[in-house]
Structure 1
Amino acid sequence: MQKQTHRWLQSLLDIQSQTGDSSEFLDNVKVDLFPDSVYVLTPRGKIISLPRGATPIDFAYSIHTKIGTHAVSAIINGQAAPLKTTLVSGDTVEIITSDSATPNLQWLNYARTGKARSEIRHYLKTVNLQESILFGEKLLIQALKDLNITMPSRDDPLWAKLAKESGASSIDDILTDIGLGRRLASVVARRFVIDSPMIATSATDLDELNAAHSTQILIQGNEGQSVTLSRCCSPLPGDSLIAVVRPGYGLVVHTDDCPVALNQRKKEPERWVSVGWDDEPSKLLTTRLTITFDNEKGVLGKIAAQIAAADSNIVYLSMSDEASKIATLNITLQAENRKHLAQIIRSIRQVSQVRNIVRTKGF
């Protein structure tokens, strides 16, 4: 151990003797002595060591689990960046969070540290499981209500019969499958009607899928893995909705005029169900705007300031036609509902150089 320490100190002296500038010395130390690490800074100047290839997700979890769990995007060296961005030594990183944001399975593709990966897996296994159970129960209650019957108690023998015939190990397994779209609530509900024979689900899928249209499913937008608000149209409270049941994903929700949804619905019309917003939807959902403006000095700062003044956060942005006189800004931001979005748009329009603002739907 003493020999290793001596060699490490000698390496520092060798690097220092060849370097006159302190910042250059620090860079050389990081590259030569710690080639498998990157060193990034918090906004307050604290140095965080991460493995090479680390992303803002790793950075967020290294600061605090809560910051990692609710991370939305990052600001790297003053520029907005997605959470999958690879960090390099010297980056100054700030994490943008939202109470409505939660980890998803894709994060495991970007996380490099053991802490981040274990925290993400823990969330997906525990929190998302409970959310799926609760959402599955909600869907089943709605389907049963459509049949004018109440939710059976957990000690009802029909539960055991249903579990045995469907290969489920527990009531929670059945509810989880409903929440994730692997079972249809309407199919399960029919099996609790005493006068109806217990028949195979596969023989009644089409009939029960059609029956599902009669009961509108109410969502809040924060149901986790059970409900996905499609990124192609980013639905907000106040939008009219449609949703498709995708096994393993639960409900994938679109606005009813989303071009992607309309195209998919032609191919699989039987899988689409009626969806509406709950009376208390989740706050600060994301949506996208395309802004065309006169590309003058300071305009981006003015637009960002107007968005902040409207009580919204920028999640991600990119700009095209940067060298031309008229540029286009594609921006993802947070909004509570359509009314709030209208307020944000009015605020942005106060920037005189802004020519046009369009809410982006479809790819």
Structure 2
Amino acid sequence: MELTSGINRLQTRIRTSRISREFGIDTLAEHLEGYLPEPAIARVRAAYEFGERQHRGQFRKTGEPYIYHPLAVARILAEMRLDATTLIAAILHDVIEDTDAAREEVAKRFGKEVADLVDGVSKLDKAQFHSREQATAESFRKLMLAMTRDIRVILVKLADRLHNMRTLEGMTAKKRASIARETLEIYAPIARRLGINSMRQELEELGFKNMYPRRYEVLRRASQSVTGDRRSLLREIEETLSRALAAEGIGAIVKGRRKNLYSIYRKMREKHRRFLDVFDLYGVRVIVDAVDECYRGLGIVHHRYRPITEQFNDFIANPKLNGYQSLHTTVMARGGIKFEVQIRTREMDQIAESGIAAHWQYKLGEKAGKLGNLDAEEWLAHLAEMHEGERDSLRFVDNLRMDLFPDEVYVFTPKGKIIRLAKGATCVDFAYAVHTELGDRCVAARIEGHLAPLNSQLQSGQTVEIITAKHARPNAAWLHFLKTAKARTGVRNFLKNQREDKAQRLGERLLDKSLGDLGLSLRRLSRSDIDRGLAEMGEPSLPALYAAIGLGRRLAPLVARHFLASDAPVAKGRRAKPLAVEGTEGLVVEFAKCCHPVPGDAIHGQASLGRGLVVHRFGCAYSTRKGSSADRVELTWADNVTGEYDVELRVTASNKRGLLATLTAKFANADCNIQNIVFPESSGALITIRFLIDVRDRHHLANVIRRLRRINAVERVERS
């Protein structure tokens, strides 16, 4: 035991010594001398000294002092040549979360900009949430919101995650798998979305290795087994293309590369291929000086090697959402081996590797955080819109996962503008991508000039025209087929606003009725009585109070008493008119499933928390048993009531052949839609079948029942 402990201590000292040399502040400062002025480097050193004091005595699970982790994070960002403010935030990114240092102290020492970045990366206290999942979702939502204000927040977080992935050996296998899953589902796709290809590839490789260690090892060995022949062929292709390009006066860098194992694994899984069927294990990248040389180089590649025409993509003319540009072509080399060739300019290559960091602009007088990538700016604006439209953090994270799609389709507006969408996106996704109002008003679409339903999935190259109507509204059923987070957020936001608007109108009517019971009315309340009542209940305004009543969060009879003056007598023996139900209140009025009321029935209502007003038939046993007089509301049907209402009928009849066909024909003849049919578990001479049907009112229902009773085989028809 003592020997093992001694060996562990020795290994820790060796590891600490190595890390000290590789990630020490002096090593970092030497690297920074290549692109930062001395005063900026001095600020980075000061941040290290402060961070080292704060983290002193803290150790990582791998054994080294904790300060080496933030230093390593700063080194990753320094390799991307980021500014001093970002590097300082990287060194201090855990001090607010893991030490006694307060945000105010960080701001005082290093400026508000650094404090904002550190606070954006810091997780929220888990103790204030009901579950670990909610805490994680809220912290991630906070991170994304901070990112919309300053993109450097996510760069620090990605570098933090990358170093954590490099040093997972101190974790249990279960914990490693959990962190790896989150990395593959969230952080690697974010790096992809921001175009940081070098970071994305390493996150994917490490995530794959720790989440599926056996699969990773099998693929690694299989890849090594074919390395010899492929590498010799790769060198031959490099030399052939270099000579051919130089002969045409094109100065190019030609280099081979191995595709990362996670990309191979994902292709095998998605396309159901064996390892030997994945042809592009290796590829060639050609880097030239100008865009026209990309296309000239493409011709030279196709002259030397036979192209696979269906495997060509022009991402220069049609850049990816993350700003990535390149020509991709797959060609056939000797022995029938296929290779992918990527052709791009030096600037395109820099953007492909560093993504949004390659666009970073820090010039004197410019606003910090300004981006040169319009696509990234649009995505950040969309994230901010999604944050405002979706208050549920767990759903926000789900929407973000949906938005981090790897595959895209390119479609055109009638005016020729390119709209890029997730693979599988529909006409409604397209409409919301163009403009939120267009999505809210769409009723149909034309694809290549032909009418198409809104749920039609779009293919690259199609021209789509959206048909709108003035009074059209989003449908909750759209949520079942939408593929983009922007569309889902737009529909949910509209439905939520519609619900609140209807809740306010219903709440106002309920409160006015309850005030009428006390001999008052909303019109007769003084401003002072209203202000006093709102203050007592802690509501900011009358519309907010109306919405709370309409959604069932407050009971109108109790609310009404808050508006009584302290010396005001309560009217005795006075009854206000029952509240009229119009049938168009939508999401804030619910018709009870226990008794299925229809227009013409005697009804009453019960305020239900979170459901609004639930309408029951008078005498409903369930409402009598579960409700109380305090939350009961007198109701009547309005003269202009519209719509169709559910009713359950029990039909008892002789069990004869063709009975069901006869019954359904009668329902159809009575202009009645059948929603559901329930048969008895066992059948005899008589069976009772339950039908859930739609009727307009009590008269329509009576007509349906009369028609059913005329059937000879029917013994009894009852309303449940």
TM over 0.5: yes
Change (3 A) 1:154 1:117: farther
* Cα RMSD, aligned residues only: 4.4
Q: Distance in 2 between matches of 1:126 and 1:257?
A: 34
1:138 aligns with 2:138: no
Change (3 A) 1:318 1:123: farther
* Post-superposition offset of 1:188: 3.7
1:300 aligns with 2:671: no
Alignment-mate amino acid for residue 675 of structure 2: V
Alignment-mate amino acid for residue 276 of structure 1: T
1:359 aligns with 2:707: no
- The 5 A counterparts of 1:103-182 are 118=489, 121-152=492-523, 156=527, 158-182=529-553
Change (3 A) 1:337 1:119: farther
* Post-superposition offset of 1:344: 0.7
* Post-superposition offset of 1:245: 2.4
Give the corresponding residue for 2:672.
312
1:334 aligns with 2:679: no
* Post-superposition offset of 1:341: 0.4
Change (3 A) 1:305 1:329: same
* Post-superposition offset of 1:119: 6.7
Change (3 A) 1:270 1:144: closer
- The 5 A counterparts of 1:26-45 are none
Question: The residue matched to 1:320 in structure 2 has which SS?
Answer: coil
Q: Distance in 1 between matches of 2:441 and 2:272?
A: 38
- The 5 A counterparts of 1:225-264 are 225-264=587-626
Change (3 A) 1:245 1:290: same
* Post-superposition offset of 1:192: 4.2
Q: Which residue of the other structure, out of 522, 546, 554, is the alignment partner of 1:183?
A: 554
* Post-superposition offset of 1:313: 0.8
Change (3 A) 1:312 1:211: farther
Give the corresponding residue for 2:651.
291
CA contact (8 A) 1:214 1:274 kept: no
CA contact (8 A) 1:292 1:326 kept: yes
| Runs of 4+ that moved beyond 6 A | 64-68, 210-213
CA contact (8 A) 1:295 1:322 kept: no
CA contact (8 A) 1:154 1:171 kept: no
CA contact (8 A) 2:516 2:575 kept: no
Q: Distance in 1 between matches of 2:501 and 2:525?
A: 17
Q: Distance in 1 between matches of 2:475 and 2:535?
A: 33
Provide the TM-score with structure 2 as the length reference: 0.32
Alignment-mate amino acid for residue 260 of structure 1: Y
* Post-superposition offset of 1:338: 1.2
Question: The residue matched to 2:522 in structure 1 has which SS?
Answer: coil
Q: Distance in 1 between matches of 2:606 and 2:501?
A: 22
* Post-superposition offset of 1:183: 2.5
Alignment-mate amino acid for residue 539 of structure 2: A
Question: The residue matched to 1:244 in structure 2 has which SS?
Answer: strand
CA contact (8 A) 2:557 2:631 kept: no
* Post-superposition offset of 1:129: 1.0
Change (3 A) 1:213 1:263: farther
Alignment-mate amino acid for residue 538 of structure 2: G
CA deviation profile, 1:91-124 (whole Å, cap 9, x unmatched) = xxxxxxxxxxx989xx99x958657965763354
CA contact (8 A) 1:182 1:247 kept: yes
Alignment-mate amino acid for residue 241 of structure 1: I
Question: The residue matched to 1:133 in structure 2 has which SS?
Answer: helix
Q: Distance in 2 between matches of 1:261 and 1:142?
A: 21
Change (3 A) 1:354 1:114: farther
Change (3 A) 1:179 1:351: same
More strand by share: 1
Alignment-mate amino acid for residue 138 of structure 1: R
CA deviation profile, 1:314-346 (whole Å, cap 9, x unmatched) = 111111146544322111111111111000111
Which protein has greater RCO, CA pairs closer than 8 Å, 6+ apart? Answer: 1
Q: Distance in 2 between matches of 1:180 and 1:232?
A: 20
Question: The residue matched to 2:652 in structure 1 has which SS?
Answer: strand
Change (3 A) 1:232 1:117: farther
**Structure 2 unpaired stretches of 5+:** 1-258, 278-422, 425-438, 444-473
CA deviation profile, 1:26-51 (whole Å, cap 9, x unmatched) = xxxxxxxxxxxxxxxxxxxxxxx99x
CA contact (8 A) 1:186 1:211 kept: no
Change (3 A) 1:187 1:257: closer
Give the corresponding residue for 1:216.
578
Question: The residue matched to 1:334 in structure 2 has which SS?
Answer: strand
Change (3 A) 1:214 1:350: same
Q: Distance in 2 between matches of 1:67 and 1:309?
A: 34
Change (3 A) 1:163 1:211: farther
CA contact (8 A) 2:651 2:714 kept: yes
Question: The residue matched to 1:233 in structure 2 has which SS?
Answer: coil
CA contact (8 A) 2:654 2:715 kept: yes
* Post-superposition offset of 1:177: 1.1
Q: Number of aligned pairs?
A: 262
* Post-superposition offset of 1:234: 0.4
- The 5 A counterparts of 1:21-60 are none
Change (3 A) 1:255 1:9: closer
CA contact (8 A) 2:675 2:694 kept: yes
* Post-superposition offset of 1:140: 2.2
* Post-superposition offset of 1:286: 0.8
**Structure 1 unpaired stretches of 5+:** 15-48, 51-63, 69-101, 199-206
Q: Distance in 2 between matches of 1:66 and 1:335?
A: 29
